[in-house]
Every structure is written in structure tokens, then in C-alpha cells.
Amino acid sequence: MIKIDLRLFVTLAKYLPKNSGSFEIPEQTTVEMLILDLGIPLELVKLIFVNGKRQDRNYPLKHNDRLGLFPPVGGG
């Protein structure tokens, strides 16, 4: 098992598990696998940042990664 710092923003915040600051996941877990495990519909996740850099859903998470997930952003 590895630990990550998980942050879900705006409308995704309702999916945030307890202990998200030190969230344990199995090694070799990708961002997409984690999104599905949390019960988040894939179409709700638009932006993925790992350690402040944009990544895609196939990124394999590593110990101490900081993961931020954002929904589509609207504006006017």
C-alpha cells in the first residue's frame, strides 16, 4: 500500500473519503482506477493534477503523490 494526498474540488468534494490527506491505495493504482473506486463518474473529472503538474487518467500514482481532481469549469 502507498499513501497519497487526495484533493477533490467543487462538485467532486462530496466523493472525498476520510483521511484524504493520507489516503491509502494499492501500489500500481492509476488515477482512473482511483476515480472509479471512489464512485466518481469518469465524465465528471475534467482536470487531473499530480504534484502540481497536469496528468492523464493512466498515470500510475506513487507514494506521497498529491492528487487533485477538478470537474469541468464553467464561466461566463
pLDDT at 60: 98
Q: Burial of 56 by CB count in 10 Å (0-12 exposed, 13-18 middle, 19+ buried)?
A: exposed
Query: Is residue 76 in some structural domain?
Result: no
CATH number assigned to the domain comprising residue 63 = 3.10.20.30
- Asked whether 35 and 45 are in contact (CB, 8 A), the reply is yes
- Asked whether 8 and 35 are in contact (CB, 8 A), the reply is no
Looking at the predicted structure, is the pLDDT value of residue 76 above 60?
no
Structural domain count of the chain: 1
State the residue range of the domain holding 9.
2-70
Query: Is residue 54 in some structural domain?
Result: yes
Q: What is the mean pLDDT of the chain?
A: 95
- Asked whether 71 and 10 are in contact (CB, 8 A), the reply is yes
Average pLDDT (53-62) is 98
Q: What is the pLDDT of residues 5-19, one digit of tens each?
A: 999 999 999 999 988
Q: What is the pLDDT of residues 19-53, one digit of tens each?
A: 888 999 999 999 999 999 999 999 999 999 999 99
